[in-house]
Amino acid sequence: MRREGLYIATIAADAERVAKAYDAGLELNALCMPDALDWSAARQDARLHAQMGGLLGERCILHGPYAEIFPCAIDPRARQLAMDRLLTAARAALRCGIRRMVAHAGFLPNVYMPEWFVPQSAAFWRIVLTGRTSSISRTDSSQRSRS
């Protein structure tokens, strides 16, 4: 029986075996760290395909980069870096047939006041989701709670 909505993170050494045993998908962690985003597209694709373990992209989710990625940074250059890194990962996912990517919002409660974070976050993600990565599927919290 296929386990819809269950993804095993490839950070676990036995992720491919567990995913096959439970007919689950894989959450690919190949591009989480910043250095991987500086690799050539061919190297990124090879790393993703290796982690996919023969599964089709529809059975995989890419875990986007998160180290020093702050989409709501006060510094506009830091925000641009976050955008660039996330879009690099999204393009790699699309090249490999992966249509879903999870990303962290980057909320730091001791740094960002909600009055700043919420509107800045909405503006940032609107650009990501309606801009150059419009073919990446969007899942809001109401869709997640139904699955």
Q: Is the pLDDT of residue 17 over 90?
A: yes
Indicate whether 28 pLDDT > 90. yes
Closest CA to 48 of 61, 35, 38: 61
pLDDT for residue 134 is more than 50 = no
* pLDDT band, very low/low/confident/very high, at 138 (cuts 50, 70, 90): very low
Dist. CA 97–CA 29, nearest whole Å:
16
Architecture of domain 7-140: Alpha-Beta Barrel (3.20)
Q: What is the pLDDT of residues 76-128, one digit of tens each?
A: 898 889 999 999 999 999 999 999 999 988 888 888 888 888 888 888 888 87
pLDDT at 104: 86
The per-residue pLDDT of the chain, averaged, comes to 84
DSSP-derived pairing of the beta strands 25-28 and 101-102: unpaired
Residue 62: φ, ψ to 5°? -90, 130
High-pLDDT (> 90) share of the chain, %: 48
Asked if residue 54 lies in contact with residue 96, where contact means CB atoms within 8 angstroms, the answer is no
- Measure the CA–CA gap between 79 and 59, rounded to whole angstroms: 30
pLDDT at 137 over 80: no
The pLDDT of residue 51 is 92
**Residue length, the chain?**
147
- Whether residue 34 has pLDDT greater than 90: no
Is the entire prediction scored with pTM above 0.85?
no
The string of DSSP letters for 45-98 reads HHHHHHHHTT--GGGEEEEPP-TT--TT-SSHHHHHHHHHHHHHHHHHHHHTT-
